[in-house]
Amino acid sequence: MQNILGKIRIAVKDRSLRRRIFFVLGALLVFRFLSTIPIPGVDILQLENFLAGNQFFGLLNIFSGGGLSNLSIVMLGVGPYITGSIVMQLLTLMSEKLKALYHEEGEAGRKKFSQYSRLLTVPLAVIQGFGLLMLLQRNGILAPLPPFELIVNLLVITSGSVLLMWIGELMTEFGIGNGISLIIFAGIVARIPTDVSQAMFSFDVSQIPVYIGFLAVAVLIVAGVVVVTEAERPIPITYAKRVRGNKVYGGVSTYLPLRVNQAGVIPIIFALSILLFPQMILNFLSGALGGTAESISAALLGILANPWVYAVSYFLLVFLFTYFYTAVTFDPEAISTNLQRSGAFIPGIRPGGSTAGYLSNVLTKITLVGAVFLGFVAILPLVMQAITGLSSMAIGGTALLIAVSVVIDLVKKIDAQISMREY
């Protein structure tokens, strides 16, 4: 307890750290203000009826940070930027130039790579925005607009998504934590009072066992995510002894920590983006086109609407993205090269290619545990929803999973900043 109070005292007294924390809080306030400004022509009553119990739009509302619940100018949220980042990282597997840009050209290469992701965000926001506006008009939530006013609305929500992307990157650069994740987290937290009041208003005594089961699952999710996020496999590292003059350097033993879940919350966000984007396009096509195309779109939507198909797809995507993001962010060959250059080695393993292969093998095994656990935790609320019939459980479980992971990441980064100032 004294250690925690000491760290809080350091955070309050340190001017630089205090400024970073206040910058994040200020940026989140700006975001929440933007999410209250609706676009013209919204039928609020029709919108509330449409969103009630709709799992697809409930999940989409998570990514908009709550901006979709009142059709604000930031209704698209950070979804287009996340989709653009996924596309760019997938392209690194197919393009040697992009792979070299991301891995081998240092900070300058990563900045250029991020710039490509930002540029890709704009056309994706236009496509998603147009599909969403057409879908909302077809369901009577938005009044039919002339072409000019429709284009203006599309420009407004596209600009809102780009503005939100910029705010998120400013938070990452000048604040603490991942700005995009914090925006999603802020939208989840902002909905808590509304969700609690609705649950209390619609409280049914016969549903008490269901509520208890949901709370038990929530506690398990929180505990499990904390344990797996903190779990790591230590790889022993020894530095070779070097004699310079009359002094002996090296000979120190330490360890390289390999986390069980290197990817954190990113696989969940990626998987939801991949699941939501096709559904939005298919929802639009199923009403906008006629004939065979409309029938095919409606059939695909029917397949995706099946809770078991959705759960299996969700699990597989989370599993695959855990491996994919770990492979993108952790390069065993680069680690092996750095160890060899610094005169370090893993006892019993030859430096160079053997060390890289050993690290890759260990990482593959421990990532399997993290990927299976993360996928299971992600679909657990979906399974409960299929059993109980309450769609809010799937939405609430996903939001809880993202929120817990973001809080853990934020606390660790704040703790790292405090530790730097302590020493």
Indicate if 242 and 195 belong to the same structural domain.
no
Which among 135, 162, 156, 154 has a CA at the least distance from the CA of 47?
A: 135
| Rounded Cα–Cα distance for residues 170 and 79 (Å) | 17
- Write down the pLDDT at residue 2: 47
Domain boundary among 166, 200, 234: 200
Long-range contacts of 329-337 (CB under 8 A, 24+ apart): 329/262, 329/263, 330/262, 330/363, 331/103, 332/356, 332/357, 332/359, 332/360, 332/363, 334/103, 335/256, 335/359
CA atoms within 13 A on the CB side of 366: 23
Indicate if 130 and 251 belong to the same structural domain.
no
CATH number, domain of 260, equals: 1.10.3370.10
Which pTM was predicted? 0.75
- Write down the pLDDT at residue 397: 60
Query: What is the per-residue pLDDT across 169-215, written as a single tens digit (0 to 9) for each?
Result: 899 888 888 888 888 888 777 777 666 666 666 666 666 776 777 77
Identify which has the larger pLDDT, 276 or 111.
111
Indicate if 191 and 174 belong to the same structural domain.
yes
Domain boundary among 175, 200, 225: 200
Q: Is residue 37's pLDDT more than 50?
A: yes
- Give the range with max mean pLDDT: 27-41, 188-202, 246-260: 27-41
**What is the count of structural domains for the chain?**
2
Query: What is the per-residue pLDDT across 4-19, written as a single tens digit (0 to 9) for each?
Result: 566 667 666 777 888 8
| Rounded Cα–Cα distance for residues 120 and 88 (Å) | 9
Any alpha helices (H) in 231-306, and if so which ranges? 266-288, 291-305
Indicate if 399 and 423 belong to the same structural domain.
yes
Domain boundary among 146, 168, 200: 200
Identify which has the larger pLDDT, 199 or 314.
314
In the numeric block, which tokens belong to residue 201?
A: 């208003």
Indicate if 138 and 268 belong to the same structural domain.
no
Query: What is the per-residue pLDDT across 87-108, written as a single tens digit (0 to 9) for each?
Result: 887 787 777 777 777 766 667 7
- Write down the pLDDT at residue 7: 63
- Write down the pLDDT at residue 159: 92
Q: Which domain holds residue 26?
A: 1-200
Indicate if 381 and 257 belong to the same structural domain.
yes
Report how far apart, in Å, the C-alpha atoms of 55 and of each of 29, 52, 246, 316, 379 are: 27, 9, 71, 19, 14
CA atoms within 13 A on the CB side of 222: 10
